[in-house]
Amino acid sequence: MVDIEVYDSITDLELSNNNHKLKVKIMKTWRRPVFNNPKHTYSLEFVCVDEQGNRAQGSCLASFFYRFERFLEDQNVLTIKKPLLGSNGGSWTVINSPLKICFNRESQLALSPQWSGSRHSFSFTDFRTILDCQASRTSSIVGTARHSVANSFHNSNLFINDSDIEEITTFLDSFDQQKEEDFLNVTDFMYYAQVADITKTVVVLGTIKLVNNQWFYMACNHCLRKVDSQLEPLKVTEGEPGSPREVVTYYYKNTDCNDKKKVIQAYPRYMVLLKVQDSTGTVDLTLFGSEAKKIINKTALQVFDNYTLDPTKKEDPLAINVLDEIASFIDRRYAFKINVTDNHINKRFKSYTIKALTDVEMIITALDEKYFKLEEVISICDDNVTPSSISNIAKLNADESESKQLKHISMTRLKIKSFLPCLRLKNKVPHPTVSRHQRESLMESLKGSF
């Protein structure tokens, strides 16, 4: 006879009991930064629900990440033994409950393959039950309704079913409008050939042609920097070898972390190196964690575990050239938002970090129009006028009237350049003594003459 596991309900949690046993589903996780030091994580917060639909808030301190962090992922079903019950205080809480699920060294977590509760922890009531209810639940109120969305400092989840309600449609459209506004109007649009001479955030448009073999790095769980791979990792095994409870954890010494004396746990984080092309050339872009996850739909840890935990796959993720999930990027066209800093100019860094990307057809089409208008403006200049020399004029708004003005200014510069040698010869001024500032001033003063 098979013993049936009996689990406590979240509503049955009591401080006097130190041996609670729960089965819960993680609905949402987020990281809480250290006060005044956002680069470091203080705790991993989460909201969970049991099979009866009762919810609770939980917290795992960074000091216990080495044991529990790998379990605390969205949609994971866990069995929790001997949780530590803390106070769910503060001026604002995610869950209206006096107790919070925490962990200590005696706590035990394990993945569970079975779940009989609601997928999204919703509790639905059929219409007949509502209509058969005899008690009066109506009240009279006087006021004005206002549509809004409330969220916490850390995060919020919003579930919206397909609906023809005008307010919901407008709300959903507002997110696309914000992205469209950012890519088309807020941020400057440029060619790859132009980004080498500026220091600001710009939007570029291009096709991914190559993906580098290196698709991830082992990141410190404190500062996200790369751990020292030259050091031999410290291997710690919990549970009996060969048993289902055996858990192997690797620890590293990270010499770049602010806490240099701490032995930390490392985990894979996306770092996808892309070579992107437009009509002016190619540029190297780097796609990190959250942005890579948006288009791969998996975390780097999930992809990594797919090759290390699946017994049917013998590949070493470190030796894989290009994963199938990442190879699908090739020959796809995106708009990239990148940040060009002083280091790119002073230290000649040629790789740029992707802050955001999109392949929304409407945005790509609108950028294409700007792309061809900029190309049209540049094409009227000869070899003496490079694209970067007119970048200050043709930044974004290259409509028809501005294109005509740009053509006039570009041709004026050509005439001035051809006139300058004659002027120097007449006044017997050697070429090297004419500074760039003097030359620009002279060009401005002579514009009216042409």
Per-chain mean pLDDT for the chain: 70
Q: Tally Cβ neighbours within 10 Å of residue 29.
A: 20
Query: For the chain, what are the domain ranges?
Result: 10-111, 185-365, 399-449
Q: Are strands 188-189 and 201-211 parallel, antiparallel or unpaired?
A: parallel
Burial class (CB in 10 A: 0-12, 13-18, 19+), 122: exposed
Q: Which residues are within 8 A (CB) of 61 and not within 5 positions of it... i.e. 6 or more apart?
A: 42, 43, 102, 103
Report the range out of 28-42, 129-143, 171-185 with the highest average pLDDT. 28-42
Q: Which residue has the tokens 């032995």?
A: 263
Continuous H helices in 69-219: 127-131, 166-181
Instruction: Give the architecture (CATH level 2) of 185-365.
Output: Beta Barrel (2.40)
Query: Does the pTM exceed 0.95?
Result: no
Least confident of 60-69, 301-310, 314-323: 314-323
Least confident of 24-28, 372-376, 395-399, 433-437: 395-399
Instruction: Give the pLDDT score at 234.
Output: 55
Q: Given a cut of 80, is residue 433 above it in pLDDT?
A: no
Per-residue confidence at 449, pLDDT binned at 50, 70, 90?
very low
Burial class (CB in 10 A: 0-12, 13-18, 19+), 195: buried
At 128, which amino acid appears?
A: R
3-class state of residue 203 by DSSP: strand
Residues 48/50/51/52 CA torsion (nearest 10 deg): -120
DSSP string, 316-331: -TTT-SS-HHHHTTTT
Q: Which residues are within 8 A (CB) of 309 and not within 5 positions of it... i.e. 6 or more apart?
A: none
Per-residue model confidence as pLDDT tens digits over 156-195 = 556 566 556 777 777 666 666 666 677 777 678 887 777 7
Q: Given a cut of 50, is residue 320 above it in pLDDT?
A: yes
Do 10-111 and 185-365 have matching folds?
A: yes
Per-residue model confidence as pLDDT tens digits over 236-289 = 555 555 554 444 455 555 565 655 545 566 778 888 888 898 877 888 899 888
Instruction: Give the pLDDT score at 385.
Output: 39
Instruction: Give the pLDDT score at 235.
Output: 56
| CA 211 – CA 336 distance, rounded (Å) | 16
Q: Would you identify the CATH topology of the domain 10-111?
A: OB fold (Dihydrolipoamide Acetyltransferase, E2P) (2.40.50)
Cα atoms found within 13 Å of the Cα of residue 6, Cβ hemisphere only? 3
Burial class (CB in 10 A: 0-12, 13-18, 19+), 214: exposed
Q: Given a cut of 70, is residue 108 above it in pLDDT?
A: yes
Of 26, 9, 25, 28, the C-alpha closest to 17 is: 9
Q: Given a cut of 70, is residue 124 above it in pLDDT?
A: no
Per-residue model confidence as pLDDT tens digits over 13-22 = 988 888 999 9
Q: Which residue has the tokens 């701490």?
A: 262
Q: Given a cut of 90, is residue 48 above it in pLDDT?
A: yes
3-class state of residue 414 by DSSP: helix
Mean pLDDT of 394-415: 45
Instruction: Give the pLDDT score at 252.
Output: 58
Instruction: Give the pLDDT score at 129.
Output: 66
3-class state of residue 73 by DSSP: coil
| CA 14 – CA 48 distance, rounded (Å) | 17
Instruction: Give the pLDDT score at 22.
Output: 94
Instruction: Give the pLDDT score at 256.
Output: 59
Helices 361-379, 400-427: crossing angle, 10 deg rounding: 30
Q: Are 97 and 57 in contact (CB under 8 A)?
A: yes
Per-residue confidence at 227, pLDDT binned at 50, 70, 90?
confident
Q: Which two tokens mark 353?
A: 């970090």
Per-residue model confidence as pLDDT tens digits over 326-381 = 777 788 899 898 888 888 777 777 789 898 888 888 888 888 877 665 555 545 44
At 260, which amino acid appears?
A: K
